Structure 1
Amino acid sequence: MLKAPTRHITLDELAIDSAPLELDEDTRLALESTRLVVVRGAGHGKWKLIPNGLVGAVQIDNLLVEVKPKDKVGISQILFLLSYAKDPGFRPQNVEAETTEDLWAALGETLARLGERATSRGVLQGYVSQDEALRTVRGRIRMSDQVTHRPGFMFPIEVTHDEYTIDVPENRILRAAVRRMLVVPKLDVEVRRRLLHLDRKLADVSSLVRGHRLPQWTPSRLNAAYVPALRIAEVVLRNMVAEASPGKLHVASFVVNMAKVFEDFVTMALTEALRKYPGRTVAQYKTYMDEPCSDGTPGIVLKPDIVHFVDGEATLIFDAKYKSASANGQYPNADHYQMLAYATAMDRTNAWLIYADSGMPTRRRVRNSEIFVHEYPIDLSGRPSEVLARVDYLAKSSFTTVFVEHPII
């Protein structure tokens, strides 16, 4: 029996309309549940898919819907931004080798490649604390549990002991991500083979409980080879849903909020870049725009994304915005009002607006004041190493502006 061909719908994240298509009720409900698009009736049994402010892909049996980010930001760039935002040690080369724009192929290949690298010298082992009821003493007796659960009995004995095993958090996270990828319909045959081989290596690792938080782990010398694979595995587990049930639709979705991704990446990358300079960096710094009112407390909260302190003073102010300029190259006025409020409240003469965009920096002086708002674009469509270099230059030029009085050009 011939399989139905895949229907592939590609939308731009800024699109406000789409061609109508036919959807059965189950598919429509499944698509709506992913929140990637809003499904609107177009009449005559057809529906329009409107981007919902998110990007990613949804595969429902033979229907593939993709919402692409603006400015030609590719899959490898998104994976890097997501991973680096959680771990500044995540290197660009971990994803730069992947050029495909097929999201499932990119995710699967990256997870397989980094997983193979992590386990190339054997599966990680470590000590795991276990609670058991045994006939002999092993480890430490849990006296309170013994009295509570077995009053008046000497056996079995409630004990806690350390077991040297492969069932450690790192392997549980990696295997969970591998198994989730394997549920994706239409996954590349070679990628599936490699992921199945990884799954067999981790066959003795227990499964994660659905809906529970991911187990905690700490980067160390012992698990250093695993770290890149774990960062991608966490990206998969936090942003992807894959389900397959007998008699039901096969659904896989990978959906991210690019505004949050950009803000998190800029916060981490700029914090790292500013380490080269004196002072300390605070993310989501809370301050107030107004003086205390009659009740003795201020009420208008301000929270710039990044504030860098030098000698105890808020010296550099940054805010990240994932927005597009208008046709004439202007950014929303509200962003500049916000930066003016930040600079005024913290008694600064410079503040930086960081946009996900191409182009050159622009410096704007607020009329009848000494305050400058610097628009600083970061082009996410470049290679990850180029994006990081752009952030490094921002750190350097902002210090130059404030301490050498040489504005960004």
Structure 2
Amino acid sequence: MSGLPVNLAELDKAGALRQLDDDAASALSSTGLVEVRPEGGGWWRLLPTGKVGAVRIGRLDVQVQPKVGIARLLFLLGYAMDPGFRPEDVTATPELELWPALAESLIRQAERALSPGVLQGYVSVDESLPVVRGRIRFADQFACRPGIPLPIEVRFDEYAIDIAENQILRTALRRMMAVPRLPAGARARLAYLDGRLDGVRVLPHGTLLPTWRTSRLNARYAPALRLAQLVLRYQSAEPGPGDVSMAAFVVNMAKVFEDFVTTALREALAPYPGHTNSQYLAHLDVDRTIPIRPDVVHVINGRPVAVFDAKYKLEGANSGYPTADAYQMLAYCTALNLSLGWLIYAQGTSKPGPRRICNTEIDVVHHPLDLTAPPGQILADIDVLARKAVPEHEETQSR
């Protein structure tokens, strides 16, 4: 199996040829990052599938570069998961590879979080003690030692470092230490930060993350925790088929774009009356046998007033808007009794604006969103869209 790295663009149509054994090909295919197409003689063609990220299979490194760049990808992912995520939460240094960019961002935020010292808090501890401390766990006492007075099963609160914030951060640092393509300096800094959290439990792979809320006490941890959660959600390091070691960070760009637009619209529409629903369930027919689920619908006084659908489809500079999307939005507007519907694209070449549907009073707007713009500008564009989408008379009547 070739040890040469494979670097593909997100829109690459030709792919790359690599010689792989069956286990490596199976493991790579299981990540979903690329299509692994047999070419004969042990050679396989690797083709992007609409996902981006990086995978390490044994000695093989495969990376699919997002067209928006790695820093912007991490911002979109982070903001979709938590609107508190800011552009400065990821490293400002341009990185050509995902692993180093993600590691550097996590390292910087962890260093800032831990520089004043490791955060402590109260945690509940269950122990067997010769004396009473805290509260007696009577059910456990009777179950474990019926009729025996000592030791006593107790539960007490202890001021310690093994709290949710530190568990999430240390687990993300450990997960990052397992990935390839990291400079020696980055590995050393990760190991040092991990040592700072000695005594904190590392969460098992696949376990639910403990909950935490931003407060005055943990505010300095918040940027690091947002990034750590992103790492733990999308990154994995585990054995693959045939005991091939595998590390992966793979995301579906269509889902990333949809999640980002949904979160950004919900934030932009928050000052308006009513509420914003994602994956709004309605029906196209009166018998309610044909369900529809627009990505975002804003509802005022129980009535939909704006509908949006996110589309991550356009590929080249000469790409046009797919007509099927207009048909879909026409159906949404008809079912929701709206005269205006918004199709939000990751980019666009046609002049944005309403297109009146023949023999109706319905306009469909194709709205391009430039993901290469600075994050602040992207969010400002969403704010402008929200102001246009929610009718002023609806806003006034609801107040």
TM-score (norm 2): 0.92
Aligned to 1:225, which of 220, 224, 233?
Answer: 220
Matched, 1:137 2:132: yes
> Aligned-pair distance for 1:55?
1.0
Deviates most, 7-16 or 380-389: 7-16
- Which residue does 1:39 correspond to in 2? 36
- Which residue does 1:303 correspond to in 2? 293
Q: Give the aligned residue type for 1:212.
A: T
Aligned to 2:119, which of 124, 138, 142?
Answer: 124
Q: Give the aligned residue type for 2:346.
A: A
Matched, 1:313 2:310: no
Aligned to 2:361, which of 340, 346, 370?
Answer: 370
Deviates most, 211-220 or 120-129: 211-220
The separation in 2 between residues aligned to 1:383 and 1:194, in whole angstroms, is: 29
- Which residue does 1:295 correspond to in 2? none
The separation in 2 between residues aligned to 1:178 and 1:228, in whole angstroms, is: 14
Distance change in 2, residues 1:33/1:311 (3 Å): closer
- Matched length: 393
- Which residue does 1:399 correspond to in 2? 390
> Aligned-pair distance for 1:94?
1.8
- Which residue does 1:386 correspond to in 2? 377
The separation in 1 between residues aligned to 2:367 and 2:97, in whole angstroms, is: 30
RMSD of aligned alpha carbons: 2.3
Contact 2:178-2:237 within 8 A present in 1 as well? yes
Matched, 1:330 2:325: no
Matched, 1:27 2:24: yes
Matched, 1:110 2:101: no
Contact 2:6-2:63 within 8 A present in 1 as well? yes
Runs of 5+ unmatched residues, structure 1: 293-297, 405-409
The separation in 2 between residues aligned to 1:151 and 1:87, in whole angstroms, is: 49
The separation in 2 between residues aligned to 1:210 and 1:94, in whole angstroms, is: 24
Q: Give the aligned residue type for 1:20.
A: L
The separation in 2 between residues aligned to 1:393 and 1:130, in whole angstroms, is: 51
- Which residue does 2:237 correspond to in 1? 242
Aligned to 2:50, which of 49, 53, 57?
Answer: 53
SS across alignment from 2:330:
helix
Q: Give the aligned residue type for 1:301.
A: P
- Which residue does 1:65 correspond to in 2? 62
Q: Deviations over 1:142-198 (max 9, x none)?
A: 112222222111111111111111101111111111111111223112221221111
SS across alignment from 1:379:
coil
Q: Deviations over 1:70-124 (max 9, x none)?
A: xx31111111111111211111222261321211110000000011111111111
Q: Percent identity?
A: 52
Q: Deviations over 1:349-397 (max 9, x none)?
A: 0010111114442321111000001111111122222211221121122
- Which residue does 1:270 correspond to in 2? 265
The separation in 2 between residues aligned to 1:394 and 1:402, in whole angstroms, is: 17
Deviates most, 46-55 or 273-282: 273-282
Contact 1:22-1:47 within 8 A present in 2 as well? yes
The separation in 2 between residues aligned to 1:120 and 1:109, in whole angstroms, is: 16
Contact 2:91-2:105 within 8 A present in 1 as well? no
The separation in 2 between residues aligned to 1:332 and 1:401, in whole angstroms, is: 30
Matched, 1:357 2:354: no
SS across alignment from 2:333:
helix
Contact 2:306-2:389 within 8 A present in 1 as well? yes
Q: Give the aligned residue type for 1:365.
A: R
The separation in 2 between residues aligned to 1:385 and 1:15, in whole angstroms, is: 29
The separation in 2 between residues aligned to 1:348 and 1:63, in whole angstroms, is: 52
SS across alignment from 2:90:
helix
Q: Give the aligned residue type for 2:12.
A: A
Q: Deviations over 1:184-235 (max 9, x none)?
A: 2231122212211111101111111222212222222221111111111111
Distance change in 2, residues 1:97/1:7 (3 Å): same
Deviates most, 354-363 or 4-13: 4-13
